[in-house]
């Protein structure tokens, strides 16, 4: 019976005609093949010092948290040492990386409000070696109110992170800070703690909405609080290769941010969306999916850029 099934499958495969090279399916297969070739035998160089990136966009729903956790997972899976700081009270990054973040769990809230050392808060991601997480709990939602009267309220995360990194026997290569889609004290702390800003931009209408305001805020923070802060990376997300709109938005972004925008774009993918419901990133959930391939190549670009600094 097994042999009959095998023969039937072979017959079906032989009967399938070549895919029309102009179809969306063929384009998808071709795009994935390009990404796979880029990754074949690729090396992810470690930076000479820890790179701290805040992943931010004041417009919600652009794949900010998804970008933070998948880039972190991609880099860690290649042997680099990575820390994700979940500074969003929703705790979605903590969910995707499968670390406990129920109320009462030691979290970023404790670091900000009580100045608890970061090493007492972080947890190792159970699915990905080399990846650690400082989780967020719902308590973080009240941190801004509790910090508002403190003189050092904008520097709490920076001080905690610097003290932690200074005690490490082996250097962390990357720190990704995921922050809320608004400019409050939590986001301000993230900007003060980082040197680089990574902005995910959705390739859809209104993609650039709010970006000028974000850039203005970054300029103000650089002038007043953190002179090293700059936009280093822009990543185009939720890209639909089939539509003219996505192509036009991508062209517009690259026109104004030629040096910052990565070559790689992240496609729309059901697998990317459903991975967090299983407590995973798409890197571990379906490593050969087009979204996972794209995030891995984007991570390679970021790593390569790190050697240029």
Cα distance between residue 256 and residue 252, in whole Å = 7
Question: Which among 101, 84, 199 has a CA at the least distance from the CA of 141?
Answer: 101
Sign, CA dihedral 180-128-296-118, equals positive
For the question of whether the overall pTM of this predicted structure is more than 0.85, the answer is yes
CATH topology for 58-306 is Rossmann fold (3.40.50)
Question: Which among 187, 252, 253 has a CA at the least distance from the CA of 220?
Answer: 187
Q: What is the reported pLDDT for 23?
A: 57
10-residue mean pLDDT series, the chain (309 residues):
47 46 58 79 92 91 93 97 96 95 93 96 95 96 93 96 95 96 92 97 81 90 96 93 83 91 93 92 93 96 83
Q: What is the reported pLDDT for 203?
A: 86
Q: Are 292 and 71 in contact (CB under 8 A)?
A: no
Question: Which among 26, 66, 15, 48 has a CA at the least distance from the CA of 238?
Answer: 66
Tell me the domain boundaries of the chain: 58-306
Q: What is the reported pLDDT for 309?
A: 53
Q: What is the reported pLDDT for 5?
A: 43
Q: Are 84 and 133 in contact (CB under 8 A)?
A: yes
């Amino acid at each position: 019976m097994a042999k009959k099934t095998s023969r039937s499958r072979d017959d079906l495969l032989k009967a399938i005609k070549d895919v029309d090279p102009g179809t969306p399916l063929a384009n998808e297969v071709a795009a994935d093949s390009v990404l796979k070739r880029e990754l074949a035998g690729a090396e992810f160089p470690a930076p000479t010092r820890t790179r701290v990136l805040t992943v931010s966009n004041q417009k919600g729903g652009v794949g900010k948290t998804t970008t933070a956790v998948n880039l972190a997972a991609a880099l860690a899976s290649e042997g680099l040492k990575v820390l994700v700081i979940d500074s969003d009270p929703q705790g979605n990054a903590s969910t995707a990386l499968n670390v406990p973040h129920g109320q009462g769990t030691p979290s970023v809230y404790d670091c900000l409000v009580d100045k608890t050392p970061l090493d007492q808060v972080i947890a190792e991601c159970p699915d990905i070696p080399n990846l650690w997480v400082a989780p967020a709990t719902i308590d973080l939602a009240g941190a801004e109110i509790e910090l508002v009267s403190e003189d050092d309220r904008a520097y709490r995360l920076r001080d905690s992170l610097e003290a932690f990194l200074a005690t490490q026997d082996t250097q962390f290569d990357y720190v990704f800070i995921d922050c809320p889609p608004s400019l409050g004290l939590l986001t301000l702390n993230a900007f003060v703690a980082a040197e680089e800003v990574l902005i995910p931009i959705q390739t859809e209408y209104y993609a650039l909405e709010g970006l000028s305001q974000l850039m203005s805020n970054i300029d103000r923070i650089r002038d007043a609080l953190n002179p090293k802060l700059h936009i280093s990376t822009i990543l185009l997300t939720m890209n639909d290769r089939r539509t003219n709109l996505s192509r036009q938005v991508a062209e517009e972004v690259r026109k104004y941010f030629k040096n910052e925008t990565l070559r790689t774009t992240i496609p729309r993918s059901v697998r990317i969306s459903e991975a967090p419901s299983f407590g995973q990133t798409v890197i571990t959930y379906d490593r050969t999916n087009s979204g996972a391939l794209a995030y891995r190549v984007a991570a390679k670009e970021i790593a390569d850029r790190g050697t240029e600094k």
